[in-house]
Structure 1
Amino acid sequence: MNSKTDIFSGNRSLHNWFVGILLAGTFTMSISQSSLSTAYPTLMRYFGVSATTIQWLTTGFMLVMCIMMPISPWLLSNVSFKHLFQAVLLLFDVGTLIILLAPNFPVMLLGRILEAMAVGILFPSYQSVMLTITPEESRGVTMGVVGLVMGSALAVGPIISGIVLRFTSWQGLFVVFAIIITIVWLLSFKYISDVMELKRTKLDYISVLSSLGFIGILYVINQIGKPQVNWSQQLILLIVSVVAVGYFVFRQFHQKTPMLELRVLKSFNFDLAVLLTGVSYIALIVTTIIFPLYYQEVLHLSPFVSGMALVPGAIFLSILNPIAGRLADRIGFKSVLLIGMSMITLGWGILFVFSSSISLGGMIVLGMLIEGGNAFVMMPAVTMGANSLPDNLIAHGTAVITTVRQILGSLGVACATIILTVVTNNHIAKGEHVEVASQMGYRAVFFTFFLVAIVGILLATLLKNSEKKG
């Protein structure tokens, strides 16, 4: 345990304020990540842009997040956490202010990029700090709370934005973000402390440049299934990006002080944890995107009702996150992970088998089952991965996990989209009714992620409840 965390000794109130402020800031930023999908139609009319263009508010956000995550360990080692946290909050606030005053779409996109830079730094840093200030035997409970912030906020983002948009304009959503983040920033001067040990090093700019390959890979992934894509150019971009990422990986293993310590991947348990948190994240993000589409296209529900149908799953996920953490501390992480992956697998399996006859109520229950399973997998996997590493590598470990999770989540959404489009179009070409063809497209999506969940169960069986390395 870092000696800097001794400042909390005998001062439970300071510890609770510290954690509460981190939670509030991260929760708000996490909501901002997923909240705009509900506002797309409104923003398209306001700025006069197409659906393809407006999606860059989310796609661009995700790309920038991904490139900032590998830099977070270096920032944690070279900038005091209090100053880093305050700078991230200010960066997010500036981005939000730009969005509120944006006269056109490019300016709004610039604001989103600044927000994404802040979120990309904070997400892995938040997890690293929470793991560092918590004794290993209590990390399950603590990371359950972290899961409440990271997973639940992602799930409730579209719900909250739908409610806000029902009573105000799209700007009202960003006003809410700005107010909360400003309050958190003011409170941080009193309650946020420097809890991370500083080990100053020079930033490896070559590693930063080569890590841009992650953006290229994610960009190409997000072009899958879109019409009129120049795949010759995309193939060149993909090759260049893969080479850049390959050099980034090579350089991290051959630098004396790498920007991102990839030697954490030499721990088999950690590797499994990375893959499991990715599998669970795929299940969560695909559920929050595909289910509303299913409600509207197959069950013919309104966008508002479709959004509200996600509420039970988000509530269930929020309730189970802390429970999963306590359970992991009592019965072991492997058992909890197996429970979670079994829930996710069962949910996708039932969806695949009975997709043609499931009512709205049944879909809501299965959504709860899949999202509930996520509570038993995503953060417990992160915690188990951290427990297999020495404390000085936790920041690097969480950065690796969040980066890989973001890439796998993007790949999952792209796969879901292309499978849905291709299978539906194939059935329409055979002369089947559009509604039947659409149903078959969703059935293929459910089957695909049922197979992914089975792979997750197999990975969970390979885990070992091992002791922390020195």
Structure 2
Amino acid sequence: MISLEEQVSRFKGNQKLRNWFVAILLAGTFTMSISQSSLSTAYPTLMRYFGVSATTIQWLTTGFMLIMCIMMPISPWLLNNVPFKRLFQAVLLLFDVGTLIILVAPSFPIMMLGRILEAVGVGILFPAYQSVMLTITPAESRGATMGVAGLVMGSALAIGPIISGIVLKFTTWQGLFVVFALIITLVFALSFRFISNVMTLKPTQLDFISVISSVGLIGLLFVINQLGKPGVNWPAQFGLLAVSLLMLVYFVYRQFHTTKPMLELRVLKTFNYDLAVLLTGFSYIALIVTTIIFPLYYQGVLHLSPFASGMALVPGAVLLSLLNPVTGKLADRIGFKRVLLIGMGMITMGWGILFVCSRSLNLIAMMGIAMLIEGGNAFVMMPATTLGANSLADNLIAHGTAVITTVRQILGSLGVAIATIILTTVTQNQVVKGYRHQVATQTGYRAVFFTFFLVAIFGLVMAVLIKNTKKTTK
């Protein structure tokens, strides 16, 4: 019987075998990632089908995100206690069951149950797949491999609404989930042939107190998602925020004061890793704000239809998909720091042009700037993740990727909330001052562009401070 060390060495030394492993892993993760961002296009259809309001239907995405985030810190424990092949197959099966429940759901609560099961699977797999890919890839090739992985994190987010729009144009909303179910079922079948156990098991008892206290993440993200919404009971929200923060403070305290933490937060003691975490978060903010704010700008300022505004995102999504593998190889060749500087430079330039020229930009110019920002994301998000992993010992990679993925999700949600608040508040203030609605709206967007221009400058400073790190092992 082949030992685990021999199994890992076999993948590191056999590129063809490793490529099959990575392809199956990414096919499942890519499909799950698309499911995270694709439903927004189907909201009107789902509202009519189930007879619910827009606020209720948004829980299909908001609830998905909350459950996903609570599972991310548990992912390292699962990797240490469950053979990876079995874990991967269990996640696929869980997602498939959730998708089938959605397909036959007679009511919205049943559909929500299916989404929760899908979210559990995604929350486990998102940090895990990055850890596994880093483990089976030689250090000198990690940039290229994680560049391909960037197709999942970046491209799926941007492409999800586009794919769902195309599917919905030719079939019902159920057709979207039929596509998900078919792909995941195929991946499940192929996993028996191409997925192996490559992670070292270190069995420990699950710290249920840590699990319970980590639920504070749900409360924090829930409050963040209420920012900018009308009719919110803010005294109750502040109470929830206070309780959530206390739970998270205790969660952090417990991870530092227990011998076998559920999530090893001591990775944050490595300054270079901390910079990498923030860089991935800031690049994710740039990407998610672009994919949400730009369509609103196209409709509100340029007066495009929803379909046309969605299609206007295609060039940026395509460029992001094409650049991700290229930037990974480039990072292996010229160093991660240079690649990160290029990417943050592109993102900063994009937001800067938007701020300075926002009153005179047409659709073509806006699409070009979207391509500049999304292209910059390809130079930052996964290269920074890889550099962060290279700053840690091998036994900490699973914990490091879980921290990065969780922080990235929190910062992304915070970025969207801040963009929404600024846009709404500034626009309303301008209207009160007597400006025409068109002028007021443009001023609101300009304030958003300026805010994220400042965020990008901060990210550029971090890219200057970060260091190329040779892989350490233990």
TM-score by length of 2: 0.98
Q: Paired residue for 2:52?
A: 49
Query: How much does 1:180 deviate?
Result: 0.3
1:392 aligns with 2:395: yes
Q: Paired residue for 1:166?
A: 169
Aligned with residue 125 of structure 2, among 122, 125, 128? 122
Q: Paired residue for 2:468?
A: 465
Q: Paired residue for 2:282?
A: 279
Aligned with residue 83 of structure 2, among 75, 80, 100? 80
Mark the CA change 1:343 to 1:251 in structure 2 (over 3 Å): closer, same or farther.
same
Query: How much does 1:9 deviate?
Result: 6.2
Contact 1:270/1:388 (8 A) holds in 2: yes
Q: Paired residue for 1:431?
A: 434
Aligned with residue 386 of structure 2, among 374, 383, 387? 383
Q: Paired residue for 2:354?
A: 351
Contact 2:11/2:137 (8 A) holds in 1: no
Contact 1:134/1:142 (8 A) holds in 2: yes
Q: Secondary structure at the match of 1:194?
A: coil
Whichever residue aligns with residue 362 of structure 2, its letter is: S
Q: Secondary structure at the match of 2:38?
A: helix
Whichever residue aligns with residue 448 of structure 2, its letter is: V
Query: How much does 1:330 deviate?
Result: 1.2
Distance 1:13 1:380 in 2: 23
Distance 1:395 1:462 in 2: 25
Q: Paired residue for 1:329?
A: 332
Contact 1:313/1:367 (8 A) holds in 2: yes
Q: How many residues are matched?
A: 470
Spell out, residue by residue over 1:268-319, the C-alpha distance to the aligned partner (whole angstroms, 9 max, x if none): 0000000000000000000011111111111111111111100000010011
Spell out, residue by residue over 1:417-450, the C-alpha distance to the aligned partner (whole angstroms, 9 max, x if none): 1111111111111122212111111111111100
Whichever residue aligns with residue 124 of structure 1, its letter is: P
Whichever residue aligns with residue 334 of structure 2, its letter is: I
Q: Paired residue for 2:411?
A: 408
Q: Paired residue for 2:235?
A: 232
Spell out, residue by residue over 1:348-367, the C-alpha distance to the aligned partner (whole angstroms, 9 max, x if none): 11011111110100000000
Matches within 5 A, 1:190-205: 190-205=193-208
Whichever residue aligns with residue 79 of structure 1, its letter is: V
Mark the CA change 1:240 to 1:112 in structure 2 (over 3 Å): closer, same or farther.
same
Aligned with residue 99 of structure 2, among 96, 100, 103? 96
Spell out, residue by residue over 1:360-386, the C-alpha distance to the aligned partner (whole angstroms, 9 max, x if none): 000000000000000000000000000
Aligned-pair identity in percent equals 77
Spell out, residue by residue over 1:149-193, the C-alpha distance to the aligned partner (whole angstroms, 9 max, x if none): 211111100110111111111111010000000000011111110
Query: How much does 1:13 deviate?
Result: 3.7
Distance 2:142 2:14 in 1: 19
Matches within 5 A, 1:360-379: 360-379=363-382
Query: How much does 1:10 deviate?
Result: 6.0
Contact 1:420/1:444 (8 A) holds in 2: yes
Matches within 5 A, 1:145-156: 145-156=148-159
Moved more, 357-366 or 227-236: 227-236
Q: Paired residue for 1:132?
A: 135
Contact 2:394/2:472 (8 A) holds in 1: no
Mark the CA change 1:199 to 1:287 in structure 2 (over 3 Å): closer, same or farther.
same
Distance 1:75 1:299 in 2: 48
User: 5+ residue gaps in structure 1?
Assistant: none
Q: Secondary structure at the match of 2:196?
A: coil
Query: How much does 1:8 deviate?
Result: 2.8
Whichever residue aligns with residue 25 of structure 1, its letter is: G
Distance 1:103 1:381 in 2: 44
Aligned with residue 272 of structure 2, among 269, 272, 275? 269
Query: How much does 1:121 deviate?
Result: 0.4
Query: How much does 1:214 deviate?
Result: 0.6
User: 5+ residue gaps in structure 2?
Assistant: none
Contact 1:207/1:251 (8 A) holds in 2: yes
Contact 2:12/2:137 (8 A) holds in 1: no
Q: Secondary structure at the match of 1:226?
A: coil
Q: Secondary structure at the match of 2:360?
A: coil
Mark the CA change 1:290 to 1:311 in structure 2 (over 3 Å): closer, same or farther.
same
Aligned with residue 210 of structure 2, among 207, 211, 221? 207
Aligned with residue 62 of structure 2, among 31, 44, 59? 59
Whichever residue aligns with residue 353 of structure 1, its letter is: V
Distance 1:183 1:286 in 2: 33
Query: How much does 1:397 deviate?
Result: 0.2
Contact 1:283/1:344 (8 A) holds in 2: yes
Whichever residue aligns with residue 298 of structure 2, its letter is: Y
Query: How much does 1:469 deviate?
Result: 3.4
Spell out, residue by residue over 1:6-29, the C-alpha distance to the aligned partner (whole angstroms, 9 max, x if none): 343665443222111001001101
Distance 1:446 1:365 in 2: 15
Q: Secondary structure at the match of 2:359?
A: coil
Moved more, 116-125 or 6-15: 6-15
Contact 1:2/1:196 (8 A) holds in 2: no
1:289 aligns with 2:305: no
Whichever residue aligns with residue 23 of structure 1, its letter is: L
Contact 1:4/1:196 (8 A) holds in 2: no
Query: How much does 1:468 deviate?
Result: 2.9
Q: Secondary structure at the match of 1:355?
A: helix
Q: Paired residue for 1:4?
A: 7
Moved more, 457-466 or 369-378: 457-466
Query: How much does 1:4 deviate?
Result: 3.3
Whichever residue aligns with residue 421 of structure 1, its letter is: T
TM-score by length of 1: 0.98
Mark the CA change 1:449 to 1:10 in structure 2 (over 3 Å): closer, same or farther.
closer
Mark the CA change 1:99 to 1:415 in structure 2 (over 3 Å): closer, same or farther.
same
Query: RMSD of the TM alignment (CA)?
Result: 1.1
Distance 2:39 2:307 in 1: 14
Contact 2:69/2:217 (8 A) holds in 1: yes
Mark the CA change 1:252 to 1:168 in structure 2 (over 3 Å): closer, same or farther.
same
Contact 2:18/2:136 (8 A) holds in 1: no
Query: How much does 1:110 deviate?
Result: 1.1
